[in-house]
Amino acid sequence: MHREPDEAINYVDDAFATGQIRGARRIMVIGCSGGGKSTLAQKLARHFGLTYLSIDRDIRWLPGWVERSKDEQRQRIVERIAADRWI
């Protein structure tokens, strides 16, 4: 589906979106705090058989909300994004 740069996209057809996600190997969900990113990503991961990665759980925080060092966070990012299929 081609659109000119000045054309606004107001919706995404479900069938089109499903086809795009089904073929995706890596998906990054971004948005504002409390916007439902984790909920959406977890549902998509289950539906499409992707590994769900959580920045909070898998990268930034240790149990008890103790922050990992920046070096450890970077290393964990490098390791996880090298995987084949994730969201």
Question: Is 9 domain-assigned?
Answer: no
Question: Is 16 domain-assigned?
Answer: no
Question: Is 66 domain-assigned?
Answer: yes
Question: Is 2 domain-assigned?
Answer: no
16/74 Cα distance (integer angstroms): 34
pLDDT of 38: 95
Where in the sequence is the domain holding 33, given as residue range(s)? 29-81
Question: Is 7 domain-assigned?
Answer: no
| Cα→Cα distances 80→53, 55, 70, Å | 8, 10, 15
Number of structural domains the chain divides into: 1
Query: Is this structure's pTM higher than 0.85?
Result: no
pLDDT of 1: 58
Structure confidence by residue, pLDDT tens digits, 2-26: 667 667 666 778 888 888 888 888 9
Structure confidence by residue, pLDDT tens digits, 38-87: 999 999 999 999 999 999 999 999 999 999 999 999 999 999 999 999 99
Question: Is 71 domain-assigned?
Answer: yes
